């Protein structure tokens, strides 16, 4: 079966700094794949490189078997969409929700904009009452729902999620994670999700890659991780750290 | 043992165009030389509680309380200059993100020396020595080098250690830490908490640890206060967290994904209007 997303020997270099060093992964259609690591591990850079937002120095990226060139065409963005970490920074402050959702439809020349906007809002659990609000009139969770609606309005098959819940409260995080799972099941979406939180990634993803300093440390399934079936010390350290503080002695 | 801090019926409100916003609505607690955690989600009033004790409430905010006493000093009646003398010397505060709470155009060393000399009549050489000792105490390996660095030249974890050094150099009796590790990576987070834990224990300080992370707080503190919509909904010993009674506390504990637990979908909080009263 052709993987939905295949990354081979990908490197990203900013000036002299190697942000991503020879990383390969392959995600099957309908799979949910996680990237975990600390700041500077290259997990977000990998996602941004796939979306065409980071300069690829070496390696190839394939979507549904077709290699991507230097520039991404419109058809690519119909297929692959991204949700960013900070719902405060990723929505235009002077556009209403309606205007925000209209933009991708206009770019891609959709005709039935009215019904699509109504449906997109409905799907993310926001009623039409939110349609003509500005982002500053929404809570963090509601903003992230708008960002998800904007990504899904073009009916992509692959969703890139960059820390989609780390700016949210725990109870709101649970709601957004449930929404994402629901949407993935309904639409048979492929997820690639970045998070610094091991618990969130194991909850959401089937397989995951642990990254450190721009390199892949190891790839494993969530079941293996939960069973502490890990081979690398770094992963063990992350697991121990995620269990919380222990007073010495 | 006399209480270090007594808070009785604290209220913080902000008049706005659309009416009065009550951020804190009647919070009471006493603090000895112990570690107290205040937990809640955004908008619960946990940070405003800390800021009111520190005297850092925004100018148009209205603070009201039956009692707000620190070591026998009535904080409500204290003048601005009396508050200023307390702040930094006897009550100190660590904020969330060292990127914003350190002065970007001063070296780390100068900032620590400035704090010390603002509160104690010490000479330059003596102040520098104490600053270096303090940097060593927060486990910075090369204090001499870090002393001369600017905040943008150090990592988040290092910045937060420098912040702790700066806050503890004048030897405060009460430390308020408002989300001190939320901006840090998990592994760094544990290092910083370890340092904080050791220093608080060694110096016998009182600590108020404000955080949104219930589990982290309960693993670090002796006692935990859970806040919702400006009020305390539950207070419990940290090791009795699993016996929490209030549905909000239980909901908060429950809605976090856990490694190895297969719960799809995650339980969500069903916020009841009666929790607000």
Q: Given this model, what pLDDT does residue A249 score?
A: 41
- Which pLDDT tens digit goes with each residue over B92-129? 999 888 888 899 999 999 999 999 999 999 999 999 99
- Over pLDDT 70: what percentage of chain B? 100
Contact in structure between B76 and B263 (CB atoms under 8 Å): no
Of A133, A129, A126, the C-alpha closest to A149 is: A126
Residues 6+ apart with CB under 8 A from A215: A21, A22, A23, A42
Q: Given this model, what pLDDT does residue B215 score?
A: 82
Question: Which of chain A's residues have a Cβ under 8 Å away from the Cβ of B265?
Answer: 177-178, 181-182
Distance CA A227, CA B90 (A): 48
Give the residues of chain A that fall short of pLDDT 70: 247-249
Q: Given this model, what pLDDT does residue A214 score?
A: 92
**B190, B214, B265 member nearest A241 (Cβ):** B190
**Mean pLDDT across B208-226:** 90
pTM given for the model: 0.87
ipTM of this complex = 0.81
Long-range contacts of A128-132 (CB under 8 A, 24+ apart): A130/A97, A131/A96, A131/A97, A131/A98, A132/A96, A132/A97, A132/A98
What CA–CA distances, in Å, run from A234 to A21, A238, A239, B259?
A: 17, 6, 9, 17
Question: Which of chain B's residues have a Cβ under 8 Å away from the Cβ of A39?
Answer: 156, 185
What CA–CA distances, in Å, run from A157 to A68, A150, A152, B240?
A: 16, 14, 9, 46
Domains and CATH numbers, chain B: 5-90+174-276 (3.40.50.300), 100-171 (no CATH)
Q: Given this model, what pLDDT does residue A128 score?
A: 85
Distance CA B225, CA A64 (A): 52
B-facing residues of A in 180-219 (CB < 8 A) are: 181-182, 196-200, 202-204
Q: Given this model, what pLDDT does residue A248 score?
A: 56
Interface test with A, best of B191, B266, B275 (most A CBs within 10 A): B266
Question: The tokens 């592994």 sit on which residue?
Answer: B187
Of B69, B67, B45, B41, the C-alpha closest to B57 is: B45
Tokens of A176: 């957004």
Mean pLDDT of chain B: 90
**Mean pLDDT across B6-26:** 93
Distance CA B131, CA B108 (A): 10
Distance CA A44, CA A39 (A): 9
Residue that wins the pLDDT comparison between A194 and B271: A194
When pLDDT is cut at 50, 70 and 90, the band that residue B1 belongs to is low
- Which pLDDT tens digit goes with each residue over B137-189? 998 889 999 999 999 998 888 899 999 999 999 999 999 999 988 878 888 88
- Which pLDDT tens digit goes with each residue over B55-82? 999 999 999 999 999 999 999 999 999 9
Q: Given this model, what pLDDT does residue A247 score?
A: 67
Domains and CATH numbers, chain A: 30-51+70-241 (3.40.50.300)
Reported as type and span, the H/E element at residue B176 is: strand B174-178
Distance CA B125, CA B142 (A): 18
Which sign, positive or negative, has the C-alpha torsion B42, B45, B49, B51? positive
Contact in structure between B258 and A243 (CB atoms under 8 Å): no
């Amino acid at each position: 079966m052709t993987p939905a997303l295949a990354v081979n020997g990908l490197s990203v270099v900013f000036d002299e700094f190697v942000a991503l060093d020879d990383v390969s992964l392959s995600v099957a259609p309908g799979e949910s794949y996680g990237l975990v690591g600390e700041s500077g591990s290259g997990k977000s850079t990998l996602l941004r490189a796939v979306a065409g937002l980071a300069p690829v120095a070496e390696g190839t990226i394939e979507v549904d078997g077709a290699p991507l060139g230097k520039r991404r065409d419109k058809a690519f963005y119909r297929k692959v969409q991204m949700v960013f970490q900070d719902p405060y920074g990723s929505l235009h402050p002077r556009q209403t929700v309606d205007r925000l959702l209209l933009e991708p439809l206009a770019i891609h020349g959709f005709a039935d904009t009215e019904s699509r906007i109504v449906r997109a809002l409905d799907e993310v659990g926001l009623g039409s009452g939110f349609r003509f609000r500005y982002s500053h009139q929404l809570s963090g969770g509601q903003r992230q729902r708008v960002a998800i609606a904007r990504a899904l309005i073009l009916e992509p098959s692959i969703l890139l999620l960059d820390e989609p819940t780390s700016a949210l409260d725990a109870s709101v995080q649970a709601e957004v994670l449930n929404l994402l799972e629901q949407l993935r099941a309904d639409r048979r979406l492929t997820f690639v999700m970045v998070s610094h939180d091991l618990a969130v990634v194991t909850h959401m993803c089937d397989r995951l890659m642990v990254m450190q300093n721009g390199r892949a440390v190891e790839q494993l399934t969530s079941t293996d991780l939960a069973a502490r079936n890990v081979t690398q010390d770094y992963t063990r350290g992350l697991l121990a750290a995620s269990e919380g503080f222990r007073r010495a002695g | 043992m006399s209480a270090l801090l007594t808070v009785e019926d604290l209220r913080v409100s902000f008049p706005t165009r659309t009416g009065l916003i009550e951020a804190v609505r009647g919070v009471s607690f006493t603090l000895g030389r112990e570690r107290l955690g205040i937990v809640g989600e955004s908008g619960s009033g946990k940070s405003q509680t800390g800021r009111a004790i520190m005297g850092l409430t925004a100018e148009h905010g209205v603070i009201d309380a039956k009692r707000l006493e620190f070591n026998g000093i009535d904080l409500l009646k204290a003048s601005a200059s009396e508050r200023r003398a307390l702040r930094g010397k006897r009550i100190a505060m660590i904020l969330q993100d060292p990127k914003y709470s350190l002065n970007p155009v001063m070296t780390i060393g100068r900032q620590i020396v400035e704090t010390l000399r603002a509160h104690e009549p010490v000479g330059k050489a003596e102040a520098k020595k104490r600053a270096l000792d303090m940097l060593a105490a927060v486990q910075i390996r090369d204090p001499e080098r870090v002393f001369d660095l600017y905040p943008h030249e150090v990592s988040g974890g290092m910045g937060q250690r420098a912040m702790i050094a700066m806050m503890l150099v004048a030897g405060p009796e009460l430390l308020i830490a408002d989300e001190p590790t939320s901006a840090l990576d998990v592994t760094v987070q544990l290092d910083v908490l370890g340092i904080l834990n050791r220093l608080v224990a060694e110096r016998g300080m009182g600590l108020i640890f404000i955080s949104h992370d219930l589990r982290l707080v309960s693993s670090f503190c002796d006692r935990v206060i859970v806040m919702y919509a400006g009020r305390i909904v539950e207070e419990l010993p940290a090791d009795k967290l699993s016996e929490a009674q209030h549905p909000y506390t239980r909901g908060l504990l429950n809605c976090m994904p856990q490694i190895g637990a297969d719960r799809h979908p995650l339980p969500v909080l069903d916020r009841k209007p009666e929790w607000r009263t």
